[in-house]
Chains A and B, each alone.
Chain A
Amino acid sequence: MQEPVVADPRTVDREILDFVMRTPRWFFVWAGALSGVLLAGVGVFLLLLIFGLQYFGYSHPVYWGFPIVNFVFWIGISHAGIMVSAILRLSQVEWRRPVTRAAEVLTIFSLLTAMMMPIIHSGRPWRTLYWEFPYDFIRGIWPNPRSPLVWDPSAIFTYLTSTLLFVYVALLPDLALVRDRASGPIRKAIYTVLAMGFRGTSRQWRIQAVSGILLSAIILPIFVSVHSIVSWDFAVLLLPGWHNTVFAPYFVIGAVHSGVSAVVMVTIIIRKIFKLENYIKADHVDSLARLLLVVAATWGYFLMLDFMFGLYGEEPAEVATWMKRTFEMPWIIMSPIFIFAAFLFPVPMWLFRKVRRSFKWMFITTVSVNIGMWLERYMLIIPGLERKSDLQFVYGDFTPSISEFIIVAASFALVIVGVLSFAKVLPIIPATDIKEGLLMADKIRVGRVEVPATMRE
């Protein structure tokens, strides 16, 4: 870390809590506009409740459309938040301080959004209750734990609960800070309850430090399990193109690729809109870009493995699916776009230091990765279902409906509104973490040069 934060603790508190304490006009404009998109999504959902899945225009054999693509995409995004935060906390990396909270919050809202997608996709959400919970004792209805329908919600529920608790525990000191500055009896009362009387005793700080490490260590295996289980939603089926043994690690690393890119995007956006230039510096995006290079290279390797395993077995149905994905319309256009956007464009760019340290280029390249990764999920799900197989007399191309596009737009709106609203009520950068960093920062003289250094307990 070469660029330490230069500010005294009082300035840190003031600048980081600024957005929590006062609301600029643009917040209402953006929140209002995004809520409009969200409302459109709610409207589509209500129509879906009335008309069922036929409202999306689904017909045999493609019943998994945009909601499932979106589900895999948002689960993927949710992964990097915790991965970035937990790995950096565990390894006590100094540059983690300004980026962990935003990454964790992104995880929460993308996970919540992802959870809604299978419920929307079910068309009859109330039925999901007896698929998941053993409540209908009288009729002897129990969930089937041999099915991914039970694995998936159990993994996502575990991940969401753990993430919420992880974020809440880490938030306690900042909640106390906001409580002490809050004006108005209702706001003060809410923050007082949430802060649970945190005073900042030596014991409380010590437990904070230990809990960060413990919870990170527990949450990392959860994070790996979630996307593995999401991949098994596909891999346990016998559909060509889906039952590859490499799916679990391929999905996990793909999730990290899109997720870390999303963390970079969010970091750059919050730096700009909340005027946090003093805390989020070129070093932070540079470090994240180096991490991305490793992740992207690994993901590229697994993509090749998926392709190779698909063809190497010479299983006719598998080969036919890959041929469709690669050479038939519209996939012949989509495949190069996906490869270019997710890998060929951003990865070589990240090799250049100037790009890695440029907020503009990092934003462009990470947006590109996420466009590519959304397409990857689309290309993974739809062609396998569309392909004509033996004894199948009805088949056809999948055409997404306008309503599905609205659902996708609403999901993005939900995540953005969620992160913005969080930043409105709680600090999006952990103030106490930054202050601890200030305390530990030092400079040491080596020969004739003075270099930044960090002390550690």
Chain B
Amino acid sequence: MAVEQRRELLGLFEEVDQAADAFTRLREAGFGDVDLEVISSTPYPEGAFGDAPVKHRLFTFPFAGAACGFIIGLAWIVGAQVSEPLITGGKPIVAVPAIIQILYEATLLAAVLFTVIGVFFESRLPDGIGLYDVRIADGLIGVSVLATDQTMLPARQALELAGATDILAQEGSLLRPAQEPSPS
């Protein structure tokens, strides 16, 4: 069965309430949480637009990293000692007190690295796919909706009725068609 092609629409709003209204209207039009997204240059509180709480597993990343770091650190440090078993100062070849520091650093370093990887993974970065407009950086709020050919019209109507300043699709602005080039 052929998968129906979905296209993105991005409505731009001046006010938070307008964006929240658009979100509600789109929900009422049958769009689910996976189809909708709010884009802003300011971190609004979670749920400010009526969007569902974000589910993520970022908390697991540092633990996985710490475990990997500990194992790699241990392998490196014990390996280095066992490969060149020089007894110095009558100390054991693998002296635990002396290697605790390096294990500690390796564990924490890997925890940080994995957390950062987790940030990129959970934030869906690098993100070069979604629609975006530089006016969002100027304070406008974007409401993005993924619609099929059948649901494109109700999506656009919902955005317009909520007071969108502009609506963008892949091909450009739908409310402000490109001006005819003036004759030179």
Chain A interface residues toward B at CB < 8 A:
9-10, 13, 134, 140-146, 150-151, 154-155, 157-158, 161-162, 165-166, 168-169, 172-173, 176-177, 180-181, 196-211, 214-215, 218-219, 221-222, 225, 229, 232, 432, 435-436, 439-440, 457
Contacts and interface: CB of A to CB of B under 8 A. Distances in A.
Given A202-B51, A207-B54, A162 B40 contact: no
Contacts of B166: none
B105 A155 contact: yes
Nearest to A169: B119
Contact of A202 (B46, B84, B136, B137): B46
Contacts of B83: 140, 142
B116 interface: yes
Given A155-B105, A161-B112, 5 more contacts: A142-B84, A158-B106, A200-B136, A229-B101, A432-B42
Centre residue among A144, A180, A202 by max chain B CB count within 10 A: A202
Interface stretch (B24-32, B126-134, B149-157, B176-184): B126-134
B41 interface: yes
A10 B44 contact: no
B111 interface: yes
Given A209-B43, A211-B58, A165 B116 contact: yes
Centre residue among B77, B112, B134, B138 by max chain A CB count within 10 A: B112
Given A211-B115, A218-B112, A202 B37 contact: yes
A338 to B, nearest CB: 30
B108 A435 contact: no
A181 B137 contact: yes
A140 B137 CA distance: 57
Interface in B38-74: 38-46, 49, 51, 54, 56, 58-59, 62
Given A158-B109, A199-B130, A214-B62, A432 B41 contact: yes
A162 B115 CA distance: 10
Interface residues of B, number: 61
A198 B127 contact: yes
Contacts of A197: 125-129
Interface of B: 37-46, 49, 51, 54, 56, 58-59, 62, 76-77, 80-81, 83-84, 86, 88-89, 91, 95, 98-99, 101-102, 104-106, 108-109, 111-113, 115-116, 118-120, 122-130, 132, 134, 136-139, 144
Centre residue among A10, A150, A197 by max chain B CB count within 10 A: A197
B168 to A, nearest CB: 13
A388 B127 CA distance: 65
A198 B86 CA distance: 52
B58 A210 contact: yes
A218 B64 CA distance: 13
Contacts of A435: 41-43
A134 B137 contact: no
21 contacts: A10-B139, A13-B41, A140-B84, A145-B102, A146-B89, A146-B99, A157-B105, A165-B113, A172-B125, A180-B134, A201-B124, A202-B46, A203-B56, A203-B122, A204-B123, A205-B43, A207-B54, A207-B119, A207-B123, A432-B43, A435-B41
A81 to B, nearest CB: 16
Contacts of A169: 116, 119
A76 to B, nearest CB: 19
A211 B117 CA distance: 11
A206 B112 CA distance: 18
A206 B56 contact: yes
